[in-house]
Amino acid sequence: MLQLCIGNKNYSSWSMRAWVLMRQAGIGFEEVMLRFDGFSPDSRFKQRVAEVNPAGQVPVLVDGDLAVWDTLAIAEYLAERFPERQLWPQHPAHRARARSICAEMHGGFSALRQACPMNIEAHLPEAGALALRDRPGVCRDLDRIVQMWSGLLLERGGPLLFGDFSIADAYYAPVVMRLKTYALPVPAEVHAYMDRVTQLPGVRAWIAEALQEQEFLDFEEPYRLQR
């Protein structure tokens, strides 16, 4: 059986992408939780990850003797391994567009990711308001996300970015979590999309398990001193 090595569900946005994709698509796997305890080379987390991924990061997909890391590489591998799951949109132009926005997420939105780290359990509207007030890059990232999602929902007619669930929705699920945690303002059609994403069975399962975690990691919590 496939194995998926992930970090803490409350904090690990990249792990969420791969896990939600597999769970929502009905691809069976064994979860291997590698809990964060710091990111120094001698941390237990880094030592355990290094056993399967020389880059020292999660998620990692293990298929027999093969280890695949980096979420986009994992998504592409799964799409090839399970073509019947139709993880990418079937129309070539839509598929190219979906790959483009996933690549944009992969390499962009650094201001939002830095100012608003994923923290599913928390509710931090004050921190969100300060980020929008003091960090122009967060405003630009939010505007681009709203433009992207609104445009795709209008073009495709919803309910998800390319109609049916795809890698693109899994890729942006952690962004939905961030927008909710920090109460960042979005128009009604985007808010409705966010609600639909959080109701996907794979996303609901991830959220439920994230809320069960009881760890407070100060290096992941820039806005709180305790849980």
- The kind and range of the H/E element at 86 are none
Cα–Cα distances (Å) from 72 to 135, 167, 188, 227, in that order, read 28, 9, 29, 32
For residue 38, the model assigns a pLDDT of 77
C-alpha of 183 from chain center: 17
User: What are the backbone dihedrals phi and psi of residue 57, each rounded to the nearest 5 degrees, phi first?
Assistant: -135, 155
Bridge partner list, 67: 62
For residue 225, the model assigns a pLDDT of 67
- Average pLDDT of the chain is 95
- The predicted model scores a pTM of 0.95
CATH of 92-209, one of 1.20.1050.10, 3.40.50.2300, 3.30.420.10, 3.10.105.10: 1.20.1050.10
Domain locations in the chain as residue ranges: 3-85, 92-209
For residue 223, the model assigns a pLDDT of 86
CATH of domain 3-85: 3.40.30.10
Alpha helix positions (H), the chain? 13-25, 44-50, 71-81, 92-107, 110-115, 125-134, 136-156, 167-181, 188-198, 201-212
